[in-house]
Amino acid sequence: MKIAVLLVALVISGEAAYAFDCPLGKEGPLLPIRWSAYDRGADVTVTLGVQNTFDRQVRMVAAEVYFVDGLGRTVGNGPLSVDPDLQIFGNGANAGTMIAPTSYSRLTKGQMSDFTPHICTEAILFTDGSKAEF
């Protein structure tokens, strides 16, 4: 019965639900909050806002971001690495910039709502010296 309700909800909403499984690490410790992309011809500049879900300040991260389109396809030729030195206050946010190959130019041609970023976090180093691995 629950499956039937879910299917009806998906049909009514008109949107497909695609689950994303991180190849490495875990989705959730760091969350994407906004992004933008600018095609510079030879490459694409992607700026990504990252939310820290911990109450401790982040000093370093080992994380990658995947952009998935509305059909569940991954954009580009693999993930982009989040700036490893991105510092984020506890429960705060900060933005990092990544230089992507031209295979990411799709991000600049469609609507932002057509693409969903997924951050796969492998490890976080906090300013107090503690480390979380996923």
5 band by pLDDT with thresholds 50, 70 and 90: very low
Q: For the chain, give the percent of residues with pLDDT over 70.
A: 87
Q: What is the pLDDT of residue 18?
A: 61
Give the residue from 21, 30, 15 showing the smallest Cα distance to 114.
15
In whole angstroms, what separates CA 108 from the centre of its chain? 16
Please name the residue that has the structure tokens 């959730």: 28
Cα separation, 89 vs 127, in Å, equals 9
**Which tens digit of pLDDT belongs to each residue from 30-69?**
999 999 999 999 999 999 999 999 999 999 999 999 999 9
Give the residue from 39, 22, 15 showing the smallest Cα distance to 117.
22
Helix (H, G, I), strand (E, B) or coil at 103: helix
Is the predicted pLDDT of residue 113 greater than 80, yes or no?
yes
What domains, with CATH codes, occur in the chain? 20-133 (2.60.40)
R_g (Cα) of the chain, nearest Å: 16
Give the residue from 34, 60, 59 showing the smallest Cα distance to 46.
34
| Predicted structure pTM score | 0.84
**Which tens digit of pLDDT belongs to each residue from 114-128?**
999 999 999 999 999
